[in-house]
Amino acid sequence: MNADSLDGRLLFAIPKKGRLHEKCLSILSGADIQFRRHHRLDVCLVLNHNIALVFLPASDIPSFVGKGNVDLGITGHDVILEAEMQNHVTEALRLGFGKCALQVQVPEASSIKTVEDLAGKRVVTSFEVLSAEYFGKLDEKFNLSGDQKTRIEYVGGSVEAACALGLADGIVDLVESGDTMRAAGLHAIATLLESEAVLIKSTVPKHPELAPLIDLVTSRIAGVIAAGKYVVCQYNIPRDKLPAATRVTPGRRAPTISPLEDEKWVGVSSMVEKNKIAVIMDELVKIGAEDILIFNLDNCRV
C-alpha cells in the first residue's frame, strides 16, 4: 500500500493490542466495517467504505486524533487526559467497555495509609502527567519544595512490581477487578479518575468533507453499543395489571402494547437494560405477568 491509496479516506485509529483491542474488532464487525489486515501491517483499507484503519498503541491515539493526523479513534478516557488532549478531541460516544479506575496504591503492610502520608515520597507510574498534577497539588498543600517534593518516576508496564522491588513507596495504576493490585500485596488509598473506552474525533478536523462519514460511523457504533446494552422483554399481562407492569418496563420511548385473542389480557414488548433483566422479571412475575420472553438484539438504531 502506498500513501496515495489513503488519499481522501477517513483515517480511523484502533488500539493495536492490549485491553481494548478485541472489543474494538467486534465493534467494527458489528458496524459492518469490513477489512483484511495483512500480518504485521498497521494500516489497512476498509473494503466497503472510504475508510482506512490505523492500528496504534491506545496511548498514542489521543494525540494522533487531537492533531488531526487521523480523523476518528477509539481509546481510553484516561489516556486522553494523560496526553493532555481533552481540548483537542471530542468524545463522541462512551463505549461502555474498558472500564477501570486510576488509583494510588501502597503496600498493605506499609505505614503509609493516606495520600498525605505518601506526599514527598517516591511514586512510580505509567501516568506521569496525571500523577505529577495530583501530587503537585499535595506538595503545594504541604509546602513541599525542591528535594522535598514527591518524586514521580515513569515505567512503561508492570507498575505493580515497583514497591516490592524497592523502587517506590506507592504507585499510580489502573484497577479493574483489583486482582493485579491484591496479587502484588497492594491496596488503593485514592482514586484519580474513572475511565472507559470512548470514540473520539478531532476538534480541528483536517478533512471537514468527511463529516457525514464520521456521523455514519458514529451512528453505527452507537447502534452496536446499544444492542449490547439492551434486550427486548416481551410478556403477557392481565389488562388490569398493565399500569403496574409498564411502570417496571416503561421502554425507551414507550412500551408496545398488543391486544390478545383473550381480551382480558394484553401482550407487552419493551426494551430494558440487560443488567437489570433478572430483577425486572422477578417484579413482573410478582405483578402477574406470564410467558415472559427475553430477546437479545443483534443490532439496533435507537
Ligand X SMILES: Nc1ncnc2c1ncn2[C@@H]1O[C@H](COP(=O)(O)OP(=O)(O)OP(=O)(O)O)[C@@H](O)[C@H]1O
Summarize as ranges the residues that interact with ligand X (CB under 6 A): 17-20, 57-58, 76, 78-79, 98-100, 157, 174, 176, 195
Q: How many other CB atoms sit within 10 Å of the CB of residue 277?
A: 15
In the bound complex, what is the minimum distance in angstroms from residue 159's beta carbon to ligand PRP? 6
Burial class (CB in 10 A: 0-12, 13-18, 19+), 188: middle
User: For residues 60, 62, 65 and 66, what is the CA-based torsion angle, rounded to 10 degrees?
Assistant: -120
**Among residues 86, 180, 203, 218, the one that binds ligand PRP under rule CB under 6 A:** 180
Residue 155 belongs to what H/E stretch? none
Regarding 175 and contact with ligand PRP (CB under 6 A), the answer is yes
Closer by beta carbon to ligand X, 103 or else 236: 103
In the bound complex, what is the minimum distance in angstroms from residue 21's beta carbon to ligand X? 7
Go through the chain and tell me how many residues it has.
Answer: 302
Q: What angle do CA 267, 272, 276 make, to 5 degrees?
A: 120
CB 49 within 8 A of CB 9: no
173 binds, among ligand PRP, ligand X, none (CB under 5 to 8 A by kind): ligand PRP
Closer by beta carbon to ligand PRP, 82 or else 160: 160
Regarding 177 and contact with ligand PRP (CB under 6 A), the answer is yes
> Count of H helices and E strands in the chain?
9, 15
**What does the alpha-carbon distance between residue 43 and residue 38 come to, in Å, rounded to a whole number?**
9
Closer by beta carbon to ligand PRP, 33 or else 102: 102
Site string for ligand PRP, 3-22 (x = CB under 6 A): ---------------xx---
Stretch that binds ligand PRP, among 29-37, 57-65, 179-187, 191-199 (CB under 6 A): 179-187
Q: Return the beta strands (E) in the chain as ranges.
A: 10-15, 43-45, 51-56, 72-76, 89-94, 100-107, 122-125, 151-154, 170-175, 186-195, 197-202, 230-238, 256-259, 265-273, 290-296
Count of residues engaged in binding ligand PRP, rule: CB under 6 A: 14
Regarding 263 and contact with ligand PRP (CB under 6 A), the answer is no
58 binds, among ligand PRP, ligand X, none (CB under 5 to 8 A by kind): ligand X
**Among residues 7, 38, 145, 157, the one that binds ligand PRP under rule CB under 6 A:** 157
Regarding 165 and contact with ligand PRP (CB under 6 A), the answer is no
**What does the alpha-carbon distance between residue 26 and residue 288 come to, in Å, rounded to a whole number?**
39
Positions touching ligand PRP (CB under 6 A) are 18-19, 157-158, 160, 173-181
